[in-house]
A and B are shown apart, each in its own frame.
Chain A
Amino acid sequence: MLPSSWPMLSLIVWLPIIAGIFVMWFGAGRASFARWFALASSVVVFLLSLALLPAFDTHTYAMQFVERVAWIPQFGIHYHLGVDGISLPLLILTTFTTVIVIVSAWEVIQEKAHQYLAAFLIMEGMMNGSFAALDAIVFYFFFEGMLIPMFVIIGIWGGPRRVYATIKFFLYTFLGSVFMLIALIYMYFKGGSFSILHMQQMPLTLTEQVLIFLAFFIAFAVKIPMWPVHTWLPDAHVEAPTGGSVILAAIMLKIGGYGFLRFSLPITPDASALLDSMIIAFSLIAIVYIGLVALVQNDMKKLVAYSSISHMGFVTLGMFVIFMIAANPLNIGGSGVRLALEGAMVQMISHGLISAAMFLSIGVLYDRLHSREISTYGGVVNTMPWFAAMVVVFAMANVGLPGTSGFVGEFMVILASFKANFWIALLAALTLIIGASYTLWMVKRVIFGDVQNEGVAKLKDVNKREAWMLGSLVVLIILVGIWPNPLLDLMHATIEHLAQQALTSKL
């Protein structure tokens, strides 16, 4: 046990950033040193984040491990960190994924390896910071700051259209978030504090709420991304190096979802209730239409990217269907609301694991044949049996097969949607067919069948490093799939409180 007086969250936020700068400075020309140092620091941060678990009190929704000091008193900004049941799982997901990403880069990234690793470490710190932030400007600081390393990652180590993709990614997300900044400043003048917790309790008129909600909505919808502002994601994913895709899909998208939970629902509950049908419609379009778009992709990464958008549709659906559930007279007791929100949370964690696994698998193939086209492959199972076995697990999880983590979240959200409206649930449940089609069809074309060409015939199965990397994800995906209770316990109290906040009118 670490002493409780340690500023644990600050360590988790700043240690990777300092380590990143260190690697960038001293790793030049010493790739091996840079790799081991980056791995060691990411493992330390991961362990530190795990060390929060035993000390975390699951019976309260209150923020824990709180740190608060004045940062810029003239602007009313406090350096205020803390975690609750929503942010802690995402924080651990971040620290875990970073370890995996650093392992995945081991032999693959040869060009400027130290800068690559440094970018990921710095980004880890920023992502942790945005999950742990309790001051709106601190959140924005990290939320926006993480664009810098991602911009560099896609731009330097990306594919042929990397410049287009990375500038598109940057400008899209930047444009989205600046309106949030104005909304935050507005609320500062209204309520006299940048504290998120304070903003959650602040009374706001409906007009104010709608405007603030829209500002938040633009920021988070772009980040998640929701249809119709999703177009940056396929480009960014296709061009990004494997590690970049993994972080993008597993963590950065989740920050959008997290933002809805932390900002939109509690700060603007009435506007959320007013505009919920818009978001539900967008989510359903994402689930169905984007799923169909995924079906016709020839590029594996693009396919998984569209599948991500479709899966994130469940997250937003789960978050905003609660107002319909609460309004449904047949629903007594309100357990449906909790189910929907917890489903959305589980879906975020699960999608973090599955999309990371899918992108890593594509990376493994790409490292060997330097192609992401489905048509390049075929019959991979004959030369890479171990790899094929793991990919099938990931594919099943992506489909939402019971026993995998993908099932839990989607099932919870669909179940909750039934309590709101039959047709919404039906449309959402279509994903089980569409998702199965595009995922399994891809697996069939890539993994199964006869060996298609010379390239595939010469493939070597996963090495030890890749086996560990993918294997750990297999374990976690199945673990969350069959035994989600520890995860749910972690967030119960917080979700309960959030549901209450979201359903209590501020007017």
Chain B
Amino acid sequence: MPNLTSLNLMPVLPEIILAGMACLILLIDPFMPRHGRNVSYALSLLTLVALFIVTLMQMSPTVRMSFGGMVVNDHMSDIMKLASYISLAAVLIMSRGYLRDRGMDKGEYYMLALFGLLGMMILISANHLLLIYLGLELMSLSMYALTAFKRDDGRASEAAMKYFVLGALASGLLLYGMSLLYGVTGGQLMLTDIANALSHDSGSMALKAAVVLIVVGSIFKLGVAPFHMWLPDVYEGAPTAVTLYLSTAPKVAALAMVIRLLVDGMGNAFADWQPVLIVAVVLSLAIGNIVAIAQTSFKRMLTYSTISHVGFVMLGILAGTDVGYSAALFYTLAYIVMTTGGFGMILLLAKQGYEAESLDDLRGLNDRSPVMAFVFLLLMFSMAGIPFTLGFWAKLAVLQAVVGIGLWWLAVYAVIMSVIGAFYYLRAVKFAYFDAPTDPSPVNPDWNVRGVLALSGLLVLVLGIFPGVLVGFASRAFGGF
């Protein structure tokens, strides 16, 4: 039985602060004026700033264990948490106007977003099967509820239902895989113990089954094919502010889960899970890039683009090297910057009582707002992986990782798919630049949205020329370089 000192609460200070603040906001919110959730909004942002500072101060390359080793804080978790805070802050800032215009500016939004973040943080730091499950469920339940946030909207409710049912199924598979793993390893729950136990496992059938189930359960949240079916419907059905939330920070947490489970826990079963991931990557890249061409909805198109991006992230993981993991993390961080901008564009083009989800709504963006059009151009080329943007380096990183382990055919396949994918990004740019606007009115003047968009465009460009900083973060997370 661990005593109080071995609990070592300092490393989990951010989680404690967050849980406290989320509860506090929950309590304060009902006492605030009916309209405008300024206090909850301000407190949420304040919480994120506080978390950022605390995590930054605690950041160190040493591994910090708490709760008797159940919670682990290392460089990877520090960087992932910092990215999650920034990403969530961007989401909250951008969503503000959108929520207000649609009468969705309720305190629960902030509360759910923060509890979701708590789930992500637990997931990121989990070193124990149960804790992983706990974090995953806390994150997922918040996400289900947020998807259904627009209660009277049939599409959103349907999306939430779909998400919930499929998500529950995936959790069930994960749990079953974990229980098999528990059996195979002779009753180990701690990831480090599992790794030890597996080092002398001869590759039994039960282990293989556990590997497959755990891979399925953990890549579901990322939206890797063939477990991507929920993604288009949920992303399209959810209010755009929520889509923005779903598509950014949780991906970092899901990546963390994949790394913790597959690499930290089952690194010795690499030969078992690598082929599974290769199949998933091949499918993801094909589905993400080819099906996206057929979309007329910009929101759906971005969703399929997400499927292809997570396919690239998995490309880094399946390399099974530190270079590969850091490439995957780098790609994920780049993806978050790009996706924040991508879905942010929909917020920008949306008007009161009108959702700008179709590609047609992009028409003539260059005439309506040249600056935002340029940001859009950068984002699209970045997603396509063209140089001078961040996306190029992200693709280069994962390709390097894959070629580095000799899977050059997979790299060739990936680049062919990215050429196919380039088509729909180009088509989106065509709408924004080459077509005359159908609605010549100026775009949404909300400075919150514009500011974050401009920032994401700037990041894509500046990091596209000087990617060293971000690459450095990503590689330090895995102790490389």
Contact = CB atoms under 8 A, between A and B. Distances in A.
Interface stretch (A36-44, A135-143, A368-376): A135-143
B67 interface: no
Which of A162, A166, A179, A181: most chain B CB closer than 10 A? A181
B386 A147 contact: yes
Interface residues of B, number: 39
A28 to B, nearest CB: 6
A175 interface: yes
B387 A72 contact: no
Contacts of B415: 178-179, 181-182
Given A74-B481, A189-B404, A144 B434 contact: no
Nearest to A167: B426
Contacts of B472: 74
B403 A186 contact: yes
A122 to B, nearest CB: 9
A188 B402 CA distance: 13
Contacts of A75: 393, 396-397, 400, 471
Contacts of A166: 430, 434
Contact of A185 (B400, B434, B481): B400
B403 to A, nearest CB: 5
A144 B386 contact: yes
Contacts of B375: none
B455 interface: no
A197 interface: no
Most chain A C-beta atoms within 10 Å of own C-beta, residue among B388, B416, B467, B481: B388
Interface in B412-430: 412, 415-416, 418-419, 422-423, 426-427, 429-430
Contact of B419 (A28, A112, A148, A171): A171
Contacts of A152: 377, 429, 433
Contacts of A162: 434
A182 B386 contact: no
A151 B397 CA distance: 25
A170 B433 CA distance: 15
B467 A72 contact: yes
Interface string A20-47: 0000100010000000000000000000
B468 interface: yes
Interface string B443-481: 000000000000000000000000110011001000011
Nearest to A72: B468
B403 A182 contact: yes
Given A74-B480, A155-B430, A167-B426, A185 B411 contact: yes
A170 B399 contact: no
A71 interface: yes
Contacts of A156: 366, 433-434
Given A24-B374, A181-B415, A188-B400, A151 B426 contact: yes
B381 A155 contact: no
B408 interface: yes
B427 A140 contact: no
B186 interface: no
A179 B387 contact: no
Given A72-B468, A163-B430, A174 B388 contact: no
Contacts of B386: 144-145, 147-148, 174
Given A181-B415, A182-B415, A142 B430 contact: no
Nearest to B395: A181
B396 A137 contact: yes
Contacts of B366: 112, 115, 156
A73 interface: yes
Nearest to A149: B388
Contacts of A181: 396, 399, 415
A178 B377 contact: no
Interface residues of A, number: 38
Given A74-B481, A182-B403, A182-B412, A140 B430 contact: no
B370 interface: yes
Interface in A115-172: 115, 126, 137, 140-142, 144-145, 147-148, 151-152, 155-156, 162-163, 166-167, 170-171
Given A175-B419, A179-B412, A189-B404, A73 B387 contact: no
A189 B370 contact: no
B387 A141 contact: yes
B362 to A, nearest CB: 14
Contact of A167 (B374, B404, B430): B430
A74 B471 contact: yes
A84 B370 CA distance: 40
Contact of B381 (A71, A137, A148, A182): A148
Contacts of B412: 179, 182
Contacts of A170: 422, 426
B392 interface: yes
A335 to B, nearest CB: 40
A144 B480 contact: no
A73 B426 contact: no
Interface string B373-387: 010010001000011
A115 B373 CA distance: 12
Nearest to B330: A74
B466 to A, nearest CB: 8
Given A74-B480, A152-B377, A181-B399, A115 B370 contact: yes
B397 A144 contact: no
Given A74-B472, A75-B400, A171 B426 contact: yes
A178 B416 contact: yes
Contacts of A186: 403, 408
B430 A145 contact: no
A141 B392 contact: yes
Contacts of B381: 148
B86 to A, nearest CB: 22
Contacts of B370: 24, 28, 115
27 contacts: A24-B370, A73-B468, A73-B481, A74-B326, A75-B397, A142-B387, A145-B388, A148-B381, A148-B388, A152-B377, A152-B429, A152-B433, A155-B430, A155-B433, A155-B434, A156-B434, A163-B430, A166-B430, A167-B430, A170-B426, A171-B419, A174-B422, A175-B416, A178-B419, A179-B415, A185-B396, A185-B400
Given A163-B430, A171-B423, 15 more contacts: A28-B370, A71-B468, A72-B393, A72-B467, A73-B468, A74-B468, A74-B475, A74-B481, A75-B397, A115-B366, A171-B419, A178-B419, A182-B408, A185-B411, A189-B404
**3 nearest interchain CB pairs?**
A178-B415, A145-B387, A145-B388
Interface of B: 326, 366, 370, 374, 377, 381, 386-388, 392-393, 396-397, 399-400, 403-404, 408, 411-412, 415-416, 418-419, 422-423, 426-427, 429-430, 433-434, 467-468, 471-472, 475, 480-481
Interface of A: 24, 28, 71-75, 112, 115, 126, 137, 140-142, 144-145, 147-148, 151-152, 155-156, 162-163, 166-167, 170-171, 174-175, 178-179, 181-182, 185-186, 188-189
